[in-house]
Structure 1
Amino acid sequence: MAPANPYAPLLDAIPVERREVAIGGGVTAYWVYGPADAATTVVAVHGFRGEHHGLEPVVAHLPDVRVISPDLPGFGETPPLPGVRHDLDAYAGWLTEFAAAVAPGAVILGHSFGSIVVSAAVAGGLDTPRVVLVNPIGAPALEGPRGLLTRLAVFYYWAGARLPKRLGDALLRNGLIVRVMSESMAKTKDPGLRTFIHDQHDTYFSRFADRDVLHDAFLASVSHDVREFAPRIAQPTLLVAAVRDDITPIEAERRLATMFPSAELVEIADVGHLIHYETPAPAAQAIRRFLAPSAPGTR
């Protein structure tokens, strides 16, 4: 039996519809949450190895916002883009095309690796009035407080791509390794919430299409960070950062905020890289305030 989802009562009250759209020569699966006549629409981009389910706890706390949440190409229910390497340019181009087709002019939100994809796309010309980055990757992953673990991850994904297919695939989908990843990221002491988080990772962290896409996306995630694009993002930007994030230290997030022409940093205490699972309510509160019609720069 799956553990209880602490956000299910809120989420169950929000209408949701699965849809598909032809993008980049392939088909992108996406989910539309909230009222069709909502004043604000947000396109929400999930992180590495995740899929749209991971952002649902935040969606649950934004019942009056229309949230459009796609699965990245090669993850969840979206097949890989045909005939391309899944590097950052490919993902940024896909997002630009997706937003224009499904929700032109929507606010764009990205979590973790999604923060890099969103930043690259917006800096490259994606039209949006505002940008929200949750757990933004604001420094090179190899230089973070867990740089050694990141280097081990580099070897892990390299081995998964180089071993014979059956062995490589088994390594990349290994449940014990997924659990170690989950344990290393979770900060909450609440046993029920930890169980829920681990179940989410057990269920969705291995729903990638194949090892080549996974390796490409991993290289994109550790070869880039939001700093590259921040100076070119003119739109008002909200950074929702974790004080205990092991991937980007809070000091680096504070420096990152100064690199944008117009950015606000909200720090959430006692949480790490899983704001979307552990503290979705304060994250949603910050997002709601940032999106309010009276907020500077709103259109």
Structure 2
Amino acid sequence: MPAPHPYAALLDEIPVTRREAPVLGGTTVFWEYGPADAPVTIVAVHGFRGEHHGLEPVVAYLPDVRVISPDLPGFGETAPVPARRHDLALYAEWLTDFVAQIAPGAVILGHSFGSIVVSAAVAGGLATPRVILVNPIGAPALEGPRGVLTRLAVFYYWAGARMPSRAGTALLRNGVVVRVMSVSMAKTKDPELRRFIHDQHDTYFSRFADRDVLHDAFVTSVSHDVREFAPQISQPTLLIAAERDDITPIEAERVLAGLFADANLVEIPDVGHLIHYETPQVAAAAVRSFLGLDELGTR
């Protein structure tokens, strides 16, 4: 039985429409939340192995904002881009084309792996008035507080890509491994919230198209970080970081903030790499303040 969704009642009040768009020769599936005539539009880019559902808890606290939330190519309902390697260049090009077609001039938000994609795209010329990075990857993943686990992950994805197809795919979708990942990231001691987080990962963490796309995306996630692109981003940037993040320590996030021309760092205590699940209301409040929205839409 699925775990109770703690943000369902709020989401039920927000209109949502599933849409599709041709991008780079493929079809990108995305969801549009909130009023079409909202004063602000945000394009929200999810993290590694995730899809659009992961950012819904934050959307739940932005009822008066138009949020465009696509599934990245090769994840969720969006098929891989034909005849392309799914590296950072591909994802940055895809995001730039997607935004130009669907929401030109939108604020761009990226979570985790999405923070790398967003930063690369904006540094490469994606036009946007403001940038929001949640749990930004602000240092090499292999140097994080759990570098040993990251090295194990490198071996895991390498093995999944090298084994015979059926066995490799089964390994990469193995429920026990997914649960270990989920347990390692969750910091909340609320049993119901932990159950929800694990259910979300069980349901959506293996919705990748194939092992090649997953491997390409993983290699990208551990080969790049936001520091590469921060000095080239002139737009006002909001960094929403967690004090207990096991992937990028908060000290590294503070250094990262100094690399931008104009950055504001919000630090959230008692949470790790799952701000979007554990403290979405706090994250949404930071977004509202950064965008200058009034308090009429808060809940």
Tell me the TM-score normalized by structure 1. 0.98
Residue 85 of structure 1 aligns to a residue whose secondary structure is coil
Give the aligned partner of residue 297 of structure 2.
Answer: none
Amino acid at match of 1:117: V
Distance in 2 separating the partners of 1:52 and 1:143: 28
Give the aligned partner of residue 194 of structure 1.
Answer: 194
Distance in 2 separating the partners of 1:145 and 1:282: 24
Amino acid at match of 2:12: D
Give the aligned partner of residue 109 of structure 2.
Answer: 109
Amino acid at match of 1:150: T
Q: In the alignment, does 2:177 pair up with 1:177?
A: yes
Q: In the alignment, does 2:148 pair up with 1:148?
A: yes
Query: Deviation digits for residues 238-283 of structure 1, max 9, x if unmatched?
Result: 0000000000000000000000000000000000000000000000
Give the aligned partner of residue 207 of structure 1.
Answer: 207
Query: Deviation digits for residues 206-232 of structure 1, max 9, x if unmatched?
Result: 000000000000000000000000000
Query: Deviation digits for residues 128-179 of structure 1, max 9, x if unmatched?
Result: 0000000000000000010010000000000000000010000000000000
Distance in 2 separating the partners of 1:80 and 1:63: 31
Runs of 4+ displaced beyond 2 Å: none
Distance in 2 separating the partners of 1:291 and 1:222: 30
Distance in 1 separating the partners of 2:110 and 2:36: 22
Give the aligned partner of residue 45 of structure 1.
Answer: 45
Amino acid at match of 1:271: V
Q: In the alignment, does 2:32 pair up with 1:59?
A: no
Q: RMSD between aligned alpha carbons?
A: 0.7
Distance in 2 separating the partners of 1:275 and 1:253: 14
Distance in 1 separating the partners of 2:242 and 2:24: 34
Amino acid at match of 1:33: Y
Alignment of 1:7-156 (within 5 A): 7-156=7-156
Residue 67 of structure 2 aligns to a residue whose secondary structure is strand
Distance in 1 separating the partners of 2:293 and 2:59: 19
Query: Deviation digits for residues 27-83 of structure 1, max 9, x if unmatched?
Result: 000000000110000000000000000000000000000000000000000000000
Distance in 2 separating the partners of 1:51 and 1:36: 22
Residue 285 of structure 2 aligns to a residue whose secondary structure is helix
Give the aligned partner of residue 243 of structure 1.
Answer: 243
Structure 1 range deviating more: 121-130 or 285-294: 285-294
Distance in 2 separating the partners of 1:86 and 1:173: 19
Query: Deviation digits for residues 4-49 of structure 1, max 9, x if unmatched?
Result: 1000010000000000000010000000000011000000000000
Distance in 1 separating the partners of 2:291 and 2:81: 32
Instruction: After TM superposition, give the deviation of residue 91 of structure 1 in Å.
Output: 0.2
Of all paired residues, the percent bearing the same amino acid is 79
C-alpha spacing 1:191/1:293, structure 2 compared with 1 (3 Å): closer
Distance in 1 separating the partners of 2:132 and 2:85: 27
Instruction: After TM superposition, give the deviation of residue 3 of structure 1 in Å.
Output: 1.0
Structure 2 unaligned regions, length at least 5: 295-299
Instruction: After TM superposition, give the deviation of residue 293 of structure 1 in Å.
Output: 6.1
Give the aligned partner of residue 271 of structure 2.
Answer: 271
Amino acid at match of 1:228: E
Distance in 2 separating the partners of 1:196 and 1:258: 35
Amino acid at match of 1:25: G
Distance in 2 separating the partners of 1:140 and 1:36: 38
Residue 18 of structure 1 aligns to a residue whose secondary structure is strand
Residue 206 of structure 2 aligns to a residue whose secondary structure is coil
Distance in 2 separating the partners of 1:293 and 1:17: 23
Give the aligned partner of residue 297 of structure 1.
Answer: none
Give the aligned partner of residue 283 of structure 1.
Answer: 283
